[in-house]
Structure 1
């Protein structure tokens, strides 16, 4: 039987999903460097996937605990945009399907923009309901950022098509009477909160990019409203915009 070319072997290796696949034993007998490199790469990919699966299992502890208590619609909630000088604070609420596996979920700040975009698509496939809420710069100035964050979170909950019966919230408590748990660094410890973190981050970044097209001098597409050198220079030369938070330094000192 004619020996497969290295490219053909590589194509076969990519199709393998189980370490018990008999083709692996056959290919390990192939001394060609290209084949052995492909096997090494396959093994590393398997180890990476196993690590992601283990992390996902660890990040499902809070959800599994709530399920064991009888809760059926567990909602993860997180916000983005508490620190910027401009733009809204945005919150997302996510209720995941009963059976879900979205490997790679993590605190949105730890992920690349490309990875966040990929995960948003996966979250939407695996979610029973998603809600997004925001509080404007004006509301932030009126209420303070802490209270405005609560408002955005409650608005996100109110947008859900399914009423949650339990909340997992990143470092926050909401006065709405629902059973809930405040989880410090929840976006890195709970799959539901991580999913909400990513949804909120992508939504807000897109919002700031659109506003940046209207006011390109401020660099909103790159800085998302944070006080970068470019942004601060634009404030000094171009002035304050309606989406700027007037109670945040250095704007409040101008």
Structure 2
């Protein structure tokens, strides 16, 4: 087993293609020491992942979440690690977001129907494996039906902001996300800062109570890695990293663990978690 952890993995509980148990199985098969389950705005997949990990010796599942938030009208993603995923306030807010996601998906599909695309909500639910419905599921259905050649084309042509089928979604503010993560005893981390829109003051976001930064990410360059590692040192932040796995396959094998951090870095976070704030 490699002493590495992929700290950014999505399951079918949000917009990944594998169930939480399948993610754990693949991660173990690929030799990882552990994974963080960081589904978008939901904790529904964590219990299954933790249970699946119990049949293995010394395999770590980090309970996590990835909140989509707004900061000065720009989307910012905030990761939470080692959260109490059963905390009442965490359950309340994620259920609220999930309910809005379902309504939003229905509105998007209605727009697509009016644009003469033959889709329905039940087809999208089937693709989501009863997890939270999101635009990637609708995009995959459009690909499956031959309307577009790729998920990327579906977004660029129809689903992203400013396109014919776009519907605005409910988002927390950065402050709200940090607050709920801390309230559920978790560690708030700034996700993939290299993907944040130009002009956003990342240091201002950090000063709101961020405790870590995702230095390593599948879409970060070596330059990004250097910049954010220096920022982590400047603000004494935890260094995290992960593949942001959703559905990527390489020769039939999921690309879980293609970006990772050492287990030693995770142990530093665990120590902070157990010692409290």
TM-score grouping bracket, smaller chain normalisation: under 0.3
Q: Which has the higher helix share?
A: 1
Select the structure of larger CA radius of gyration.
1
| Between structures 1 and 2, the one with greater strand share | 2
